[in-house]
Amino acid sequence: MLMIGKNLTAEQRLSKAVVAIMGNDKYVALAGVLMIGKRSIDDECPTAYTNGRDEGYGRAFVDSLNDAELRFLVLHECYHKLYRHLITWRHLYDQNPRLANAACDYVINLKITDDNADGWAAMPIRDGKKVGLLDEKYRGMDSAQVYKLLLDERDSDSGDGDGGDGESGSGIGDGGLDSHDWEGAQGLDPEEAKQLERDIDEAIRQGALAAGKLGSGGDRDLEALLQAKVDWREVLREFISTTCVGNDYSTWRRPNRRFVSSGYYMPSGVSESVGELVIAIDMSGSIGSRELSQFLGEVKGICDNVHPEKVRLLYWDTQVCADESYAMHELDTLTESTKPAGGGGTIVTCVPEYLTKHGIKPQAVVVLTDGYLGGEWGQWSAPVLWCIVDNKRAEPDVGKAVHVEY
């Protein structure tokens, strides 16, 4: 085991901690992620922070940590990058920064603690208390689920429904191990953000190859992130084309005109018009106007061939807020639809309830969502396809799912 000497500078100790992690077979799959972005010592930082790409570590805080604690801190920042927390959970930060920070930290700290029962990486302890957020009741949850519970607990304790204090940094005072530079993450220009996404994807793939060569145990979270990307457009096209299909049959009531002139009386082929296609659109901030327009453009192109009787757009958050219907001759205006202002929250069960209440019986339902639904996917009476934006960990327990990337 590589020990880090207390007589080294904070910069040297930080570098050696990174080398130690990269040299541990347990974390060989993270080596590429550890190489992404810049890592520096910040004299003004009380603990540590990341913007999803770069990392900063407080000099005094690093000097106060022992070897195992410093490794834990570096791993903590690495997992923020790996899980793309500052991009994926931006909508939670916009609602309540402090609770969004805490939700991400609970998930990460449980993982690192589970992986280091031997104490190789350990959460810092001060005055007999852990410096960091750790609670067994959040085991098996993602950050959105933890956030919802934290929000419910806060509301039940305060009873005032206040949206939060707006502080983005958690720090030791709030029980957090680090702060999260959400504004810095938002400040990445579009090309930088795309390049970061590509770098993380490639780092994960290379790490998986290295782990396989060493025979290291698999990581379910990494395996989910490594799933091959599927062309969502093809999945969408196949789903609509196979579920929205009318019945073809022949009838003698209308002779086939192609043969009448030749003196033959033959039946003509008839296709029943297909039923109604429902597109249910999540009004959360993860789905912008550009993404919505592109998605509806794909739907229109498919419907030009499939010819559903009607396309119905349902915009929803905790309830269905808008209901727009388009006949086939009106589909040219489909891409001009815009999201109404949402009231906050995300409860997808309102969609099947709305369909039942209003006697709407679609032939198929396509749900465009970020997938942060707290594990409630609803009960559906029609085939459903989940088109999930910016959430690779979402796993619906009903219907079929595809991850949408633009």
- Dump pLDDT digits (tens) for 110-126: 999 999 999 999 999 88
Whether residue 277 has pLDDT greater than 70 = yes
**Residue range 72-100: average pLDDT?**
85
pLDDT at 255: 54
Do 52 and 70 sit in the same domain of this protein?
A: yes
User: In terms of domains, do 211 and 237 share one?
Assistant: no
pLDDT value, residue 130 = 86
22 is a domain residue: yes
Higher per-residue confidence, 102 vs 93 = 102
pLDDT value at 176 more than 80? no
Check whether residue 24 and residue 58 sit in a common domain: yes
pLDDT at 168: 34
Position 265 pLDDT exceeds 50: no
pLDDT tens digits, residue range 55-72?
A: 999 999 999 999 999 999
Residue 4 domain flag? no
- Clarify whether residues 165 and 66 are in a common domain: yes
Nearest Cα neighbor of 121 from 163, 66, 79 is 66
As a whole number, the mean pLDDT across the chain is 80
Do 217 and 81 share a structural domain? Answer: yes
**Do residues 380 and 398 lie in contact, with contact meaning Cβ atoms separated by under 8 Å?**
yes
Total domains in the fold of the chain: 2
Task: Read off the pLDDT band of 263 (50, 70, 90).
Answer: low
**Do 259 and 277 share a domain, yes or no?**
yes
Residue 240 carries which side chain, given as an amino acid letter? I
The model's confidence at residue 326, banded by pLDDT at 50, 70 and 90, is very high
Rounded Cα gap, residues 47 and 51, in angstroms: 14
274 bridge partner residues = 308
DSSP category for residue 282 = E
Tell me what pLDDT residue 227 has: 53
Is residue 180 located within the same domain as residue 204?
Answer: yes
Domain-located, residue 62: yes
pLDDT (0 to 100) of residue 77:
95
Final residue in a domain of this structure, among 161, 195, 225:
225
Among 177, 207, 225, the domain-final residue is 225
Same domain (yes/no): 201, 271: no
Q: Tell me: do 215 and 249 sit in the same domain.
A: no
Query: Which of the listed ranges 63-72, 274-283, 363-372 does the model predict with the highest average pLDDT?
Result: 63-72
The pLDDT of residue 270: 44
Q: What is the pLDDT of residue 165?
A: 37
Q: Is residue 390 within 8 Å of 139, Cβ to Cβ?
A: no
- pLDDT tens by residue, 212-251: 655 554 455 555 555 545 567 878 888 888 887 654 444 4
- In a domain, residue 1? The reply is no
Q: Which residues contact 132 (CB under 8 A, 6 or more apart)?
A: 76, 105, 109, 123, 124, 175, 176, 177
Q: Given pLDDT bands bounded at 50, 70 and 90, which one contains residue 289?
A: confident
- Which of 188, 210, 225 terminates a domain? The answer is 225
Q: In CATH, what number is assigned to the domain containing residue 297?
A: 3.40.50
pLDDT surpassing 50 at residue 161? no
Is the predicted pLDDT of residue 163 greater than 50, yes or no?
no
Q: Does 37 reside within a domain?
A: yes
The per-residue pLDDT for 248 is 44
Residue 169 has pLDDT above 60, yes or no: no
Interatomic CA distance for residues 36 and 54, integer angstroms: 8
How large a percentage of the chain has pLDDT more than 70? Answer: 79
Spell out the alpha helix ranges (H) of 96-243. 97-115, 143-158, 182-186, 190-214, 220-225, 232-243
The verdict on 145 and 209 lying in the same domain is yes
71 and 184 in a single domain? The answer is yes
The predicted structure's pLDDT at residue 252: 44
Looking at residue 122, its pLDDT comes to 96
pLDDT confidence tier of residue 157, bands split at 50, 70 and 90: low
Q: Which of 21-35, 184-198, 363-377 has the lowest mean pLDDT?
A: 184-198
For strands 248-255 and 267-271, give the pairing.
antiparallel
CA distances from 222 to 26, 35, 239, 258 (A): 13, 17, 28, 60
Residue 5 lies in a domain: no
User: What is the domain extent for residue 368?
Assistant: 232-404
In a domain, 281, yes or no: yes
With respect to residue 247, please indicate whether it lies within any of the assigned structural domains: yes
Tell me the pLDDT tens digit for each residue of 13-27.
999 999 999 999 888
Same domain assignment for residues 262 and 198: no
pLDDT score, position 207: 76
